[in-house]
Amino acid sequence: MKTEIKNDYVIAYPQGRIDSQTANDYQEEFLKIIEENEGLKLEINMEGIEYVSSAGLRIFLKIQKTVKDLKLTELSSDVYDIFNVTGFTDIMNVRKVMRRISVDGCEVIGRGFYGTVYRIDEDTIVKVYESPESIPMIENEQLRAKQAFRSGIPTAISYDIVRVGDSYGSVFEMLKAKTLNDLVIENPENVDDITAKYVDFIKTVHGTVMEKGILPYARDEFIDHLDVEREYLDDDIYDTLKKYLSELPQDDHVVHGDIMMKNVMMVDGELMLIDMDTLMAGQPVFDLAGLYVAYMAFPEDEPGNSEGFLGITDAMATHIWNEIFNRYFSGFSEEEKATILDKLKIVAYIRFLFIISVTDYKNGELGAIRINHTKQHLRELLPRVDNLYFSTEPS
């Protein structure tokens, strides 16, 4: 039986039928592969299997008890139905064969931290993940989208997972949809009206409450970020940031995690969220800080960054940020807004430094400038606040 090793998996490629006559032979082969690849997980690629009988199902149960981790992939529809009808899909990691698509020549309508979104045709988009081991991420995004949809947040729900080269993609039906970022590029004279609708939508998202424990908490994620970027922070700065984050009350309101205009679609006149894998529970500061990073922090030491990433000028990015902030905190005094902005910037620079820490952005002269500049900002901002909490209602 052909095998290969990828990452921490040994992949086996059986062929033919697994029935009462062949089941024992297959079992012996699989156990031999496990023994020869001790410590590795086992993936059985079922693309070459035409049929599995009850005897075949039993050997997979035995193997699952033996190996560190087992997954069955690339099952034909007929073979998958056998596993599904018998309930094996509930107790084993079983994945049906996925259709393959190409994105060659397709329009790129968005790029995120984990992947790129392409328009396949007028009605369909696909988000292609960078990692070849991305199916758990896609399944997580599908789950988060369903949770958000049931809570009343308009969101696109993926209806298919596909292969795109060596990677995987999540397919959405988006009839004639455009991102708000696209609309700003096409109609810059309407930027204030677009931003007004956008801010109202963000407030709707932030006003949604999830049942406790459904979503991970943004506060906890940002505390984890601190540990990742620890090497770049002086002890007093690290300790203060961790203290302030830890003191933020847990909150079960929804935050998207990456709610910039590229992840909000206009579909038949209604706004809809995409990229739901980052969905969390927490306070608005975590979303607003992300917007500050996208529209203000990235262009700060790299003029023209907004053009490359968002397709707009740095001046337009600054204008959008100011519109977002002033509309979100409409009715607040200038003194209140100044304090809130300081707190937002602190959380934003935690996020920015984390992004730099885990990507190639940390390399080279620009990386060093960004790291030092971020540390300088944090040292200047922290003495001006004594916590990171703020109300979203004016006093």
Residue by residue, pLDDT tens for the chain (395 residues) are: 899 998 889 999 999 999 999 999 999 999 999 999 988 999 999 999 999 999 999 999 999 988 878 999 999 989 999 999 999 998 999 988 888 899 999 988 777 667 888 888 888 889 898 876 788 888 888 888 888 888 889 888 888 888 898 888 988 877 677 889 999 999 999 999 999 999 999 999 999 999 898 899 999 999 999 999 999 999 999 999 999 999 999 899 999 999 999 989 898 889 999 888 889 999 999 999 999 999 999 999 999 999 998 999 999 999 999 999 999 999 999 999 999 999 999 999 999 999 999 999 999 999 999 999 999 999 999 999 999 999 988 87
Other beta carbons within 10 angstroms of residue 310's beta carbon come to 23
How far apart are alpha carbons 67 and 30 in whole angstroms? 10
* Dist. CA 162–CA 144, nearest whole Å: 19
Q: CATH 3.30.750.24 in the chain, residues?
A: 2-96
Q: Which long-range contacts (CB under 8 A, 24 or more apart) does 134-137 make?
A: 134/167, 134/168, 135/95, 135/161, 135/168, 137/277
Q: Long-range contact list for 183-190, CB < 8 A, 24+ apart?
A: 183/266, 184/261, 184/312, 184/316, 184/320, 185/311, 185/312, 188/312, 188/316
The string of pLDDT tens digits covering residues 145-186 is: 888 888 889 888 888 888 898 888 988 877 677 889 999 999
**CA–CA dist 169, 115 (Å, integer):** 9
Compute CA distances 93 → 90, 272, 296, 326, whole Å. 8, 32, 43, 49
Spatial separation of the C-alpha atoms in residues 91 and 75, rounded to whole Å: 16
> Does domain 2-96 fall into CATH 3.30.750.24?
yes
Contact 167, 134 (CB under 8 A): yes
3-state secondary structure of 49: strand
What is the chain's Cα-based Rg? Answer: 24
- Give the phi and the psi of residue 231 in degrees, each rounded to 5: -65, -20
CB 194 within 8 A of CB 187: yes
Segment 36-89, tens digit of pLDDT: 998 899 999 999 999 999 999 999 999 998 887 899 999 998 999 999 999 999
Domain with CATH 3.90.1200.10 in the chain: 178-384
Query: Domain 107-173 belongs to what architecture?
Result: 2-Layer Sandwich (3.30)
Quick one: 178-384 is in which CATH superfamily? Aminoglycoside phosphotransferase (APH), C-terminal lobe (3.90.1200.10)
Phi, psi of 67 (to 5 degrees): -90, 155
